[in-house]
Amino acid sequence: MSKGIKMRSAKDRHGHPYTVETLQRMHDDGQSTPDLVCDHASCGCAVRFVPRYQQNRANRIEPVDVPAYIGLVKDSEHITGCRYDAQGRLTAIARQSVPDFIKALDDGKRELRLLVLHNSLRNQSLSGNPPAAPGGKPATSPAGNTTTQIIPSDKKLDSYLRTTADLLALRAACESDALLAAELTLRLGTKRIPWKDFFFEHERFDEAWELVRSGGVNPYPIALAGRVKNHYQPAAGAKFKSSFLNGHSLYRKTDDPNRLEVFEISVAHPDGQWLSGFPSGSEIVMFGLWKAAEVVEKPVQDKKNPAHTITYVTYKLTLSPRFKRQLIAAD
Ligand SMILES: [Zn+2]
């Protein structure tokens, strides 16, 4: 896995343009694909076509679809200023950020200080009331200390959210965690969070559920990247006012062939029109303090074999964003 941004187009050595779709068709027809270079003006670094493939992961019901893309060949780098230069984009994001959120470290790397954002995300519920700490005890941070409630100004908070959204969009555009993990340390108070415990793609929704569940009443914000499945809006006059955006679930096999685990992802918000602005099929990153619901087991008659029932065990994660910047279109 290289550190680069996944590209949708490139050109051959003679300057002829190719899209990922054209290259995939050539590949499917058994034609060899040309030697490719970056199509950004004056960059022209060597890149390669990676055809779509399916990954069979242990316990997954469906193989994980990895879509085709164009990426860097080994040891190739985009020039500074190329639109696919991930390092350059990271530098630009850090430059635009307020210094107390992304801190430059002595070794040239950077640190993202999630605690200020974390406090803002949990400070108030959407109703405008501060959430009651269970049992009347003071809220503690995931680092174990009593949370120092440093609540930033609206302007600063907006800047934190914009920086986070930009970083997550950059991560979603990259082939893997490699670049961000190498360049940016995530810190929550005294605790260091590895990227794999912060950013979860569809195939790891089960790990995200475990993490949120283990965080209990003191979770830290995480990002889930997935594809929008559908939307739900309450009927006019309904008691329950939230609209929902539902992501594609992850299905996991168990040792019992009649028992399937389903990891569901939903975003709840009163503004259904805003949620529908992320259309079905589109890629999205959802960031914030997720809630894990109680596990629900439901036996369902097998359509193919009515004498037979399958038990679906549902693990549900829900995000109720306080800020619209917590949802990021990743396409
Ligand atoms: Zn380039």
196 and 165 within one domain: yes
Tell whether 3 is covered by a domain.
no
Same-domain status, 136 and 65: no
Strand 199-201 with 222-232, pairing: parallel
132 and 44 in one domain? no
Residuewise pLDDT in 10s, the chain (331 residues): 567 899 999 999 999 999 999 999 999 999 999 999 999 989 999 999 999 988 777 777 777 777 899 999 988 999 998 999 999 999 999 999 988 899 988 888 899 999 888 888 876 443 344 443 333 344 444 544 444 555 667 888 899 999 999 999 999 999 888 899 999 999 998 999 999 999 999 989 999 999 999 987 778 999 999 999 999 999 888 888 899 999 999 999 888 989 999 999 999 999 999 999 999 999 999 999 999 999 999 999 888 888 889 999 999 999 999 999 999 999 6
Q: Are residues 164 and 44 in the same domain?
A: no
CA atoms within 13 A on the CB side of 190: 7
**Measured between alpha carbons, how far is 115 from 220 in angstroms, rounded to an integer?**
9
Ligand 1 centroid – CA 176 distance (Å): 18
Task: Give the angle 223-311-251 at the CA atoms, nearest 5°.
Answer: 30
175 and 44 in one domain?
A: no
Indicate the residue among 21, 53, 83 that finishes a domain.
Answer: 83
The answer on 282 and 155 residing in a single domain is yes
Whether 190 and 145 have beta carbons less than 8 Å apart is answered as yes
pLDDT reported for residue 131 = 42
Residue 309 lies in a domain: yes
The last residue of a domain, from among 63, 83, 103 = 83
What's the pLDDT at 117? Answer: 87
User: Are 122 and 109 members of one domain?
Assistant: yes
Structurally, the chain folds into a number of domains equal to: 2
| Dist. CA 44 → ligand 1 center (Å) | 6
Please report whether residue 2 resides in a domain: no
Amino acid of residue 126:
L
Q: Which among 289, 319, 321, 285 has a CA at the least distance from the CA of 147?
A: 289
Closest CA relative to residue 232, chosen from 204, 182, 266: 266
Pairwise CA distance, residues 34 & 32, whole Å? 7
- Shared domain check, 219 and 119: yes
Q: Which domain holds residue 28?
A: 9-83
Instruction: Give the Cα separation of 233 and 275 in Å (integer).
Output: 10
Distance, CA of 42 to CA of 11 (rounded, Å): 12
Is residue 176 situated within a structural domain? yes
At 48-80, the pLDDT tens digits run: 999 998 877 777 777 777 789 999 998 899 999
Residues within 5 Å of ion ligand 1, judged at the Cβ atom: 38, 40, 43, 78, 82, 84
Residues 155 and 173 in one domain: yes
Distance 43 CA to ligand 1 centre (A): 5
Considering the domain architecture, whether residues 169 and 276 belong to the same structural domain is answered as yes
| pLDDT for the residue 151 | 64
By C-alpha distance, which of 199, 197, 194, 202 is closest to 167?
199
* 4 belongs to a structural domain: no
Give distance in angstroms: CA of 88 to centre of ligand 1.
11
Give a yes or no: residue 259 inside a domain: yes
Give CA–CA dist 313/44, Å, rounded. 50
In this prediction the pTM is: 0.85
Report the relative pairing of strands 64-66 and 46-50 from DSSP bridges.
unpaired
Q: Are residues 108 and 195 in the same domain?
A: yes
Indicate whether 79 and 99 sit together in one domain: no
Angstrom distance (rounded) from CA 48 to CA 69: 9
Output phi, psi for 86, to 5 deg.
Answer: -65, -40
> Where does a domain end: 50, 83, 116?
83
Q: In terms of Cα–Cα distance, which of 251, 232, 331, 229 is closest to 285?
A: 331
